[in-house]
Structures are given as C-alpha cells and as structure tokens.
Structure 1
Amino acid sequence: MDEYSIRLKGISKKYKLYNKPVDRIKEIMPFHSKKLHKEFYAVNNISLDVKKGETLGIIGKNGSGKSTLLKIISGVLTETAGTKEINGEISALLELGTGFNPEYSGIENIYLNGLMRGYTRNEMDGKLQQIVDFADIGSFIDQPIKTYSSGMFARLAFSVMISFKPEILIVDEALSVGDVFFQQKCNRFMKEEMQGVTKLLVTHDLSSIANMANRVVVIKNGAVVYEGDPLKGIEFYTKSIHTESFRANNSIALNEHIKISDSLLLNNFEKVSPDSLGGAQELVITGVSFTVDDSDYKGFISKGSKLEISMMIESKKATEELIIGYLVNDKYGNAVFGENTHSSQIITRATEPGKGYLVKLTIVWPEIQENDYFITLGLGEGYHEMNHIIQCWAHNIIQLKNITFNSVHGLFNNKIESITLEEIK
C-alpha cells in the first residue's frame, strides 16, 4: 500500500493573458502569425509528496498560486504540465457555492451533495441529523441557501463535507468567513476526530497552521520557496513579507532636524517616517528596533514571550520628567492594552536639548486572541497622566502576529483564581 496520499511531480498551470478579448480570435486566424498573448504561470514546476494522515499547511500571499494548486489536486483544474497521483477520496471546500444549488434549501442541498457522491437517500437519512447538528444554523436549514450569510453557508458546507468521511480533506480559506467559535469547533474536529485523514489547509490564520500542521510549504509566484517545520515556515513567510514592506518604505528620509549616529541606525534600527509621527515633536522618536525572547523576530509572538523594544529619541529641549508609553491595537484599530512609565510608577531621567537617547522598553506578552497587532509608541512630558504634553506618537510602527496554543474566548484569557462548590441544603 502506498504511504502517500498525494504525489505531485513538476506540476505547472499556464494561462494565456490577452490585452483585449478580440485578440483571442485574431490569434487563431490562419493568416495571423503574431503572438498576441503573454504567458502566465499560476503554478510553476511544483513537486510535492504528502503522506497519509499528514496535515500540510500551505501559506503565501494572495495570488501566489495556492488555490490553483489545490484545484489541480482536487481535479477542478487540469494541469498544463507534470503528473499527479492521488490515493484516496477527496473532499474539498474551495469556494463558497461549489456543489450547492442556491435555490434549494439546506436540507435539499445535503441530499443533493450525497447524490452527487453516490450515496442513496437512505444513507443520507442516516447522516442528516449529524450534519444539521454540526452546522447549527437553526431554522435556516429549511430556507434556500441564497438567503444564507457567508458564515452560515460555510457552516453547512463544512458539515456536509466531513460527513462523507473523506480520506483527503482540502480546505481553502472558506472557514475564515465563519465566526471564531465555529472556526475553533472545526479546527478541534479536524485535529481530534480526523487524525487519520490527510489534510491540506490554506489559510492566513497562522495560529491554525502552528497548532494543526505537521509540515508547511510556502508558495511565492507559483513556486515552493520553503518546505519544512511549521514554526520555521511561519518565520520564513513573515520575514519575507516584512522584508518586502521594509524595502518599499525604508527610502523615507529622516526629519531634517534629526541627526542620529549612523552606527546606531546600522544596528538593526529602522528609521521612523515623519509621516507616522504626531504630537509637539520637541522630543522625537527617530529609530526603532525590537526583539522577541532576546532573538530576532521569527514572524510570530505568543503568551509569555518577552518583547523588548528599543527606541532612539532626539531631544530638542530640556525636560524634567519624560513619560514613555506604548499602546497595542488590533487590526481594526481597537485599543487592546497599553501602559506608560507614569502609571507603572517608573521615574525616568531628565533630557537635555540637542542630545540623543536610547530607550529600552520590556513587555511580557499576554495571552490574547490570535490576530495581527500594531504597536504605537509615545513620549510625553509632565508629572501627571491627565496633565502632560504629548510630545511624540509613532503610530503603528511595529506589527506582530500573535499565535495561540489554547482557545481564547474573547479578547484575552483571565484565569479563575478560586472557586467553591457547596451543596444547597
């Protein structure tokens, strides 16, 4: 028996891109010899083996070729070149709507999917209650699915798919439209109830990848650029994204008033764009660097990690007491947590005009919901939290991907310190 569920060798998918629709017709005319298209490889020479029972995470930027690869594996698309060997029945949740009739009710679509897979009505009768219970969409199960929200549809589609007990399960971002509790329910089911099933997961949720995948591949421009350990794959992917972003933004010149030692800037500090600064700016943040657990950022942070942020600041005036703080926002701009030296009862030194200072700020990262988080750094001058001058805000200059290894019900977890259970007499 073959130990591999999927074997791909030299798989490519090529498309012809035309500037105008009429060029397609012109090109096939016998009297027309000029090529009017450009060739685009959505997938380019990918070779990949997936063992039976393995969970493979596939990550990459939008447009990198992930979905095309999964469609080739599932048979929705035909490869232009290469060979594939599939050993096992596939269930694939690729795009919302695939295999469902929008005019039919949820119940009718359950039976329709079973019929397409060769199940009898009696067999589907036996599966029906399990599907309805897992989807948990209430009375909407009897309504046409064209009335469903994307989250409700994802619930039904996933429930139908797992009821067929596939040997190979493919999920491509479709669960991301569901609420966080259903996502956790699906992840828990795949991890605990489908241990012998080969699973291919495409998602931007790096926590799911870290928790579920045995192996990760990173795809860029249609090709595999990394294959191996999930955490190292997350590090590789996130660093490549940050590197592209840094190259795009690091051409910004420093504020003309700021003069910083070049040797400091070369020491892993990134220049802070004047466009990201606010406040009176008589004290200015000019450079920032950070480490996680005394090492370079690996692309993610998690509960208990030590985050050390270093700031270079330039003082244009004398201050008697400097307030230094930070604020962490989620990707929607909501403030999650923050602190400053005044409320932490930490006294900082005075500053002198025309001098530069190096500030190191250490934070122990809490257990919070998996998400992207952005850190704003701030400088203030004064003796009171409610009565001080905001000298400098550096908005959203650090981005972190938080991953969790436990379920976080809400924004963050807060442990129960004590509990009693007494009999009522």
Structure 2
Amino acid sequence: MESSTTGKSSRKSIITRDLGKRYQIYASPTDRLKQALWRGRRNYCREFWALRNVSLEIEKGETVAIIGRNGSGKSTLLQMICGTLSPTEGKVETSGTIAALLELGSGFNPEFTGIENIYLNASLLGLHQEQIKARLEDIQSFADIGDFVYQPVKTYSSGMLVRLAFAVIAHVEPSVLIVDEALSVGDAVFSQRCMRFIRRFTEGGTLLFVSHDLNAVSSLCEKAIWIESGRVRMNTQTAPILTAYTRYCLEASNSEIQSMASAEAIQKNVDALVDNSESRVSLQEATAVNTVTNEDSIARIISTANELNALPEQNYWDNKRDYGNQHAYITRVELVGMDGQRTNTPNCGEIVQLQISAQSIRCVESFIAGFVVRDRTGQVIFGENSTGQDRVQVAMNHKASTNFEFVMPFLQPGSYSLSVAISNGDAKQFQVMHYKPDIMILEPMVGNRPVQGVFATTTMTIKSDVHAK
C-alpha cells in the first residue's frame, strides 16, 4: 500500500486505484493441502473476489457513507484503507492519521487490561507516552466502564469493548475517522455521546461511516458509496443513493416474499393432486400446474389493465424514481388545509388532511397506505401509516383511498419533501406495491412560534405558578 500527500493528491484524504481482494475457496482441507503441495501447477480451489475494480477519491473534510448489504465488500474495503488487509491488486493512497473502529476487539490484546490496551492503541495511533498519560483520565471518563478498566479485556462485553475503543479514537485527534457498524452494540446514552463526537469531528475531519441506519447516514454524510457484490454501484450525493438503495432492498424483499408464496402454492398443488389422485403425482407436474395458473393470472391482469387504459407505466408510474411490484398504483395525493383547499404551504398547528388514492391491478388482501416527511438532508421528521386500522381488502380493478387527518407540527423553517407509498400486508411483513419518493415539496408556515429541536408539539399544557417561601 502506498501513502502520498503531494501533488495532485494533496487535497485527497483517500485514493484507491483499481482496488481488488481475491480469496481462494477450498471445498475441503485436503484440497488446501493439495494446492500447497502442487504449488500452483494444479488448481484445487475456486477464486472469490470480495472486491474488484474499486477506484475512489475522497477529499479532505468530506463525510462519506458506505452502504450495501451484508457481504457486499464494505468491511473488506475499509480494512484495506486502514492497512490491516493487503489488496490482491490495485493500490491505496492515504494522507494523515487514520483511526478506525472496525471489528469488535480489533487491535486489543485480550490478556491486557483496559488501561494497558489504552496505552497500546493510542501509541499505535501516534501518541507519545506523555500525551497518553495526560489524556488518560478523559479517555476513562468517555468510556465510562468503571473499575473494569483495570481488568483483562477478555472479560469485557461487546458494549464495553466498543466504549473503550471509541474512547481512545476520540482522544487521538485523527485526520480520518472510520466507523464500521460497531456503534450498533452500544446503549442509547453512549451512542448519543459518540454521535456528538462524530458531528464535531465532521466539522474538519474526514469521515467514512458504515451503517445500516439510513437515517443516520442521511443526517451525517454529504456523499455516499453503494457497494454491491464487491463493486461500486453508485458514488454520488447521499439522497439519490439512498433512494436507489431503498428501492433495491424493497424489490429484493418483494421478490423473496413472492418466491415464498410460489413455493407455498406449489406445495398446495402437490397436496391437492395427491389427495385427488389414486396415482402418485410428481413435483414437476405440480410445478407445471402452478406455472399455467400464474400465466393465466398475468394474462388476465394485462387484459384488465389494457381495458382500463390505465397501465401504471403510462400514466402514474415514473420508471426512474418509483418502485414496487405494481399490483396497485397511486393515482392521486392531496394535502388539504382547514379551508378545504389543496396546499403545499400548510399552517403549522392547524388540522390538515392528506389523502392517498390508488387503483388496484390485482386483488389486494390487506391494503396499507403511508407517508413520511423528510428535511432537506433526507432525515425523516415524521410519518404515519394505516397498519393500525381495520384490514382493508381491495378487489381487482377497484379504487381505494386512505385519509390521514392530523395537526401539522411546528417545524423548523425550510423546505420538506413528502413521500407516499401503498403496500399489501401488515406491519411485520408487507410487499410495497408503489412508492413515490418526494412527490410534493412542503413549505410549512411556522409563524412566530419558536421551535426547539426537530419539531414542536402542537398540544401541550404549560402552567407556571409562583409560590411564597
């Protein structure tokens, strides 16, 4: 690995060029031994590329999220940037001190006490003994693990390991901070403490942040990198990547649910054919019956949609932004104020109604509608859905609508986006039929009401009394 701080890369914290990591996968330990004995003259393994052709440039002071599903290659990339893993091909150039919070306990000697590991890790990150001694009390206070700091690290829980590791990182003043999902094991108080430090750090340092919490990603990071199957799929501003990634995950979830439903249908066909036939019926015959049934259903759906002349792709579906299984689609979204007029400038503190109308293409067993309001960074401010209401069934080629009536909360002045969705299922398991992101831009009228935090409550009793001594 190379490091450079001159010339073209003087403003870059991290540069990777055609970076790749290959592993050899063996079917058995015997194959591994054979590979070693033959010294490459024969091949007893298969190659697996955990990462391939990754080229990135991250400017100093940027906050960048790395997102992707488990096993996509995120941790492999971070380990090569940190220098704890050697690339198979390509190169990495870094500038400044890198502090990383990767796997739990990484960099710790389990036999050492917490104090001894503080000295070990801080010295590896560039601090001298005198500097560590001067900051030791602050590190202990930040970690807040009490007398356990004098016990061997092997006796620590996962939460205590994260506390100690992050406390060291927070006091070594790195140029680049890398956090890889480790904060998910901490309690709420410590997580908030870490997030406050990270926000202060982003004012001047470079942050690489890996998390499955997309709200945290949206709040912290101005750019994002989406890695899928070891390759960079998108590398741009955070908002469009989160929209595309959410769409990808929901479509994958829909596909998984449909596969499960298809498997259940096949099994039912098997059971029915076995019950109604004197001879044994093969699984292939049952599968063929199910395939014919599905093809007939699809044909009926297309025929019905053509008769309506209301195919979602033509009238209501934006292929570049919308996603879902298209079993139903949103036809109208209206926000209405107290005067009964449509508006995108609702008065905070007043009752508003949000109506979501939809058209079914297929039978919907349990119709759900919902919405979220996000700020300009993509952070979810508030939202609601109809999962808590009575079950609503919608027949094929029918219309449905859901009306949300609520008091508009007092928000910070600015622009907000409204996204809406309809699904089929319940709160625990559902399939998204149509999701329309950022369908409306809201400019709430706050008035003179001061807002502390994200938004102010609309109903609260406040009473002040003066008491004599």
State the TM-score, normalizing by the size of structure 2. Answer: 0.63
Q: Which amino acid is 1:203 matched to? A: S
Q: CA deviation at 1:360?
A: 1.6
CA contact (8 A) 1:184 1:407 kept: no
Q: CA deviation at 1:59?
A: 0.3
Matches within 5 A, 1:342-353: none
Partner of 2:146: 138
- Residue from 392, 395, 399 that aligns with 1:358: 399
CA contact (8 A) 2:102 2:181 kept: yes
Deviations 1:83-137 (A, max 9, x none): 2211111101111111112233323321222233453433212111221222223
CA distance in 2, matches of 1:421, 1:3: 55
- Matching of residue 63 in structure 1 with residue 67 in structure 2: no
Q: Which runs of 5+ in 2 are unaligned?
A: 1-5, 266-289, 317-325, 335-351, 372-383, 410-420, 438-451
- Using the TM superposition, name which of 63-72 and 144-153 deviates more: 144-153
- Residue from 36, 48, 55 that aligns with 2:44: 36
CA distance in 2, matches of 1:310, 1:169: 46
CA contact (8 A) 2:218 2:239 kept: yes
- Matching of residue 208 in structure 1 with residue 251 in structure 2: no
CA distance in 1, matches of 2:238, 2:120: 37
Partner of 2:232: 224
Q: Between Structure 1 and Structure 2, which shows a larger proportion of strand residues?
A: 1
Q: Which runs of 5+ in 1 are unaligned?
A: 270-285, 295-303, 316-322, 329-334, 343-347, 368-373, 379-392
Partner of 1:150: 158
Q: CA deviation at 1:197?
A: 0.9
CA contact (8 A) 1:13 1:43 kept: yes
Deviations 1:284-314 (A, max 9, x none): xx955569978xxxxxxxxx99684747499
- Residue from 85, 92, 96 that aligns with 2:100: 92
CA distance in 1, matches of 2:130, 2:52: 45
* DSSP-derived class of the 1:340 partner: coil
Q: CA deviation at 1:223?
A: 0.6
CA distance in 1, matches of 2:62, 2:456: 31
CA distance in 2, matches of 1:148, 1:414: 41
- Matching of residue 83 in structure 1 with residue 91 in structure 2: yes
- Using the TM superposition, name which of 158-167 and 172-181 deviates more: 172-181
CA distance in 2, matches of 1:336, 1:220: 30
CA contact (8 A) 2:162 2:186 kept: yes
Partner of 1:396: 429
CA contact (8 A) 1:327 1:377 kept: no
Q: Cα–Cα, structure 1 residues 416 and 124, in superposed 2: closer, same or farther, change >3 Å?
A: farther
CA contact (8 A) 1:55 1:214 kept: yes
- Residue from 340, 356, 361 that aligns with 2:389: 340
Q: Which amino acid is 2:402 matched to? A: L
Matches within 5 A, 1:7-406: 7-30=15-38, 33-250=41-258, 252=261, 262-263=304-305, 267=312, 287-289=327-329, 308=356, 310=358, 312=360, 339-340=388-389, 357-363=398-404, 396-398=429-431
CA contact (8 A) 1:291 1:307 kept: no
Q: Which amino acid is 1:165 matched to? A: E
Q: Cα–Cα, structure 1 residues 152 and 307, in superposed 2: closer, same or farther, change >3 Å?
A: farther
CA distance in 2, matches of 1:96, 1:187: 18
CA distance in 1, matches of 2:120, 2:428: 52
Q: Between Structure 1 and Structure 2, which shows a larger proportion of helix residues?
A: 2
- Using the TM superposition, name which of 236-245 and 49-58 deviates more: 236-245
Identity %: 36
CA contact (8 A) 1:327 1:339 kept: no
CA distance in 2, matches of 1:241, 1:210: 17
CA contact (8 A) 1:60 1:220 kept: yes
Partner of 2:14: 6
CA distance in 2, matches of 1:24, 1:64: 25
Q: Which amino acid is 1:360 matched to? A: S
CA distance in 2, matches of 1:250, 1:136: 48
CA contact (8 A) 1:292 1:305 kept: no
Q: CA deviation at 1:229?
A: 1.3
- Using the TM superposition, name which of 25-34 and 168-177 deviates more: 25-34
* DSSP-derived class of the 1:95 partner: coil
* DSSP-derived class of the 1:5 partner: strand
CA contact (8 A) 2:104 2:162 kept: yes
Q: Which amino acid is 1:359 matched to? A: A
Q: How many residues align?
A: 353
* DSSP-derived class of the 1:163 partner: coil
Q: CA deviation at 1:12?
A: 0.7
CA contact (8 A) 1:376 1:394 kept: no
How much is the aligned-residue C-alpha RMSD, in angstroms?
Answer: 4.4
